[in-house]
């Protein structure tokens, strides 16, 4: 079979996605939603706060990344925190002060900060 340049691009995109998953294996992933709505609501400061917390803690087991709009624009800024082997938890209406607590209690401590989480109780939390 002869490969075309567009086939190579498809393979590259597919492999990049799996490489990212492999990197995330066994680590906590903090995903800051950076849609237009999120950025307009202060998501950059939330991202900054998480990056600072990771640097301060010196932890190698936390990945901070970004994605687009999560579909609930009026509750932005939002993040999704996913610990290894646990379902993801979405936090809404965030401020840098809330980030400090979420990082200490959930990301490092493994305990969900229920008062900032979206719909705790309507989803199975492990």
Partner 1 sequence: MEDLSLHVLDVVDNCIAAGASRVQVEVCEDARSDRLTIRVADNGRGMSRRDLRRAMDPLFTTKAGKTVGLGLSLFAQAARESGGGMEVESRPGCGTAVQAVFGLSHVDRKPLGDLERTMRLLRASHPEIEFEYKHTVGDEEDKHETQA
Nearer to partner 1, 6 or 25 (CB): 6
CB of 103 to partner 1, least distance (A): 15
- Secondary structure (DSSP) of 4-60: PHHHHHHHHHHHHHHHHHHHHTTSEEEEEE-SHHHHHTTHHHHHHHHHHHHHHHT-S
Rounded to an integer, what distance in angstroms lies between the CA atom of residue 121 and that of residue 62? 26
- List contacts with partner 1 (CB under 8 A): 5-6, 9, 12-13, 16, 19-20, 32, 34-37, 39-40, 44, 47-48, 51, 64-66, 68-69, 71
- Residues near 55 by beta carbon (within 8 Å), at least 6 away in sequence: none
CB of 18 to partner 1, least distance (A): 12
Nearer to partner 1, 39 or 108 (CB): 39
Nearer to partner 1, 69 or 108 (CB): 69
């Amino acid at each position: 079979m002869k490969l075309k340049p567009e086939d190579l691009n498809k393979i590259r995109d597919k492999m990049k996605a799996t490489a990212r998953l492999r990197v995330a294996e066994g680590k906590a992933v903090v995903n800051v939603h950076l849609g237009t709505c999120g950025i307009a609501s202060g998501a950059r400061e939330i991202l900054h706060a998480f990056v600072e917390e990771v640097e301060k803690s010196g932890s190698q087991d936390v990945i901070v990344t970004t994605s687009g709009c999560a579909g609930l624009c009026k509750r932005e800024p939002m993040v999704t925190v996913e610990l290894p082997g646990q379902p993801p938890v979405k936090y809404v209406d965030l401020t840098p002060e809330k980030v400090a607590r979420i990082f200490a209690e959930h990301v490092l401590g493994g305990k969900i900060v229920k008062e900032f989480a979206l719909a705790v109780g309507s989803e199975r939390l492990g």
